Amino acid sequence: MTSQLHKKGEAWSARFSEPVSDLVKRYTASVFFDKRLALFDIEGSLAHADMLAAQGIISAQDLADIQRGMTQIRGEIEGGQFEWQLDLEDVHLNIEARLTALIGDAGKRLHTGRSRNDQVATDIRLWLRSEIDNIGTHLGDLRRALLDLAEQHSATILPGFTHLQVAQPVTFGHHLMAYFEMFSRDAERMLDVRRRVNRLPLGAAALAGTSYPIDRERVAATLGFEEVCTNSLDAVSDRDFAIEFTAAAALVMTHVSRFSEELVLWMSPRVGFIDLADRFCTGSSIMPQKKNPDVPELARGKTGRVNGHLIALLTLMKGQPLAYNKDNQEDKEPLFDTVDTVIDTLRIFADMVPGIKVREANMRNAALQGFSTATDLADYLVKKGLPFRDAHEIVAHAVKICSDRDIDLADLSLAELQKFSPLVGEDVFEYLTLEGSVASRNHIGGTAPAQVQRAIAAARAKLAK
Ligand code: ARG
């Protein structure tokens, strides 16, 4: 035996005259976080060994030993008995050392035609692919929850805002469906990213490929990769797939954060549009009356860390010459935390949305203030033949007068309204109601209850596919 992996340094020790210090050991080790990749590392190793045997590079007996050893190691890891050693630096060397301890020389043959560089890139891709699928499931759950709530409130009216000023009445179902659209695009984006994650780096070896007669297509098929990375230097070095995943994740969080901002606002007693179930809120240790929307606030806050991870990964990559550099070991913690944050957040929101208590009367009262049907009055005058700009001016004048008198447009009498324009007829009051306003916006993408119901039905059909 010329080398023993479990004595760190000996795998490459002939080249070195002194061991690394404990601080450097700790600084360079990744095992305490990359052990999270262990089962994917084993999966990748088994696919590699299977190919080596099929190509006659290792014997059938070696393969059988490797499979047996890996089965035991998997059991040890799942059972929590595996002894992770800092001395062995990372997940790859820990597992390989244990394999060799269990099965001897066959364990030392596993690394033939492979490097930790293509191994780690493969592990991350396998892991990320499965997490993207999990995120897809949780996005689906949240979207379904939004659809259910939207369906209950396809005709509930609240003020729609621009500049956070009352603009026009909208239906709450329509408002919720806006978030449904955002999360649907997020799901689409994740699937798109998945295609580029789902490519095989193994075979690139350290950077230049390998002199053994390997079969990369076979490994790709075993591991369910759609394609093989076609340039070895690129395969071991670029982490653009991790960056674009994190960008997609940052958008998921951004959408959650916008929704959170609204939930917080809506729950303020000054607004009072909704109430969140108690289990998503906490009280105050000093103010007995408080019920704080902690979950949406925290989600809004956690969006910052995911945005931070995106910048961390972009910065990690930008200065790296080809090919692999140790910098890339720093890709893992941001990725892990991004996945954990997104998944926890989506799970909590999918659970929280069905419990949103909607205070319909408060929404309606708010929509009755702020002249939300002013545009409807202008549109009414246009339908009676007035050019839109003139109608806009007349209604602005009427709003000013109502505002001074602290009344709504609908509180004006017919005679008073006719003073603003002789075109006003008795039918005007239908146009000034909230229901009339929303019902009139009856086209694809409009807020009319009929359109909201259509959008919900179309969304359900799409989700069921
Ligand atoms: N722990 C390393 C990483 O995460 C594995 C690859 C190490 N390769 C190397 N040549 N040192 O990137």
Place of tokens 């499965």: 130
Which atom of ligand 1 sits closest to the CA of residue 206? 10
| Cα-to-chain-centroid distance, residue 58 | 42
DSSP summary character for residue 228? E
Q: Clarify whether residues 93 and 238 are in a common domain.
A: no
Asked if residue 72 belongs to a domain, the reply is: yes
Closest residue to atom 11 of ligand 1, CA basis = 326
Cα gap 180→222, rounded to integer Å: 36
Q: Clarify whether residues 230 and 185 are in a common domain.
A: yes
Question: pTM for the whole thing?
Answer: 0.94
Q: Hey, what are 101's tokens?
A: 């301890």
Q: How far is CA 306 from CA 173, 187, 433, in A?
A: 29, 17, 44
Cα gap 220→200, rounded to integer Å: 6
Q: Is the CB of 122 under 6 A from ligand 1?
A: no
Residue-wise pLDDT for 297-340, tens only, equals: 999 999 999 999 999 999 999 999 999 999 999 999 999 999 99
Q: Clarify whether residues 386 and 323 are in a common domain.
A: no
Q: Please tell me the total count of domains within the chain.
A: 3
Q: What's the pLDDT at 290?
A: 85
Which atom of ligand 1 sits closest to the CA of residue 331? 4
- CATH code of the domain containing 51: 1.10.275.10
Rounding to the nearest 10 degrees, give the CA dihedral for residues 376, 381, 383, 385: -160
Asked if residue 161 belongs to a domain, the reply is: no
- Domain final position from 363, 381, 408: 363
Asked if residue 6 belongs to a domain, the reply is: no
* Residue of 326, 330, 333, 335 with the most ligand 1 atoms within 8 Å of its CB, for mutation: 326
- CATH code of the domain containing 435: 1.10.40.30
Q: What's the pLDDT at 12?
A: 64
Q: Hey, what are 270's tokens?
A: 């000054």
Residues of the chain with pLDDT under 70: 1-13
Asked if residue 235 belongs to a domain, the reply is: yes
Q: What's the pLDDT at 1?
A: 40
Cα gap 394→384, rounded to integer Å: 14
Residue 364: name the closest of 148, 172, 165, 179 by CA: 172
| Helix segments in 319-409, DSSP class H | 332-352, 360-368, 374-383, 388-405
DSSP summary character for residue 14? G
Q: Using the Cα atoms of residue 178, residue 184, residue 189 and residue 190 in order, give the sign of their dihedral.
A: positive
Q: Clarify whether residues 135 and 75 are in a common domain.
A: no
Q: What's the pLDDT at 260?
A: 98
User: 3-class SS at 292?
Assistant: strand
Cα gap 267→281, rounded to integer Å: 11
Asked if residue 336 belongs to a domain, the reply is: yes
Which residues span the domain enclosing 323? 115-152+173-210+225-363
Which atom of ligand 1 sits closest to the CA of residue 90? 1
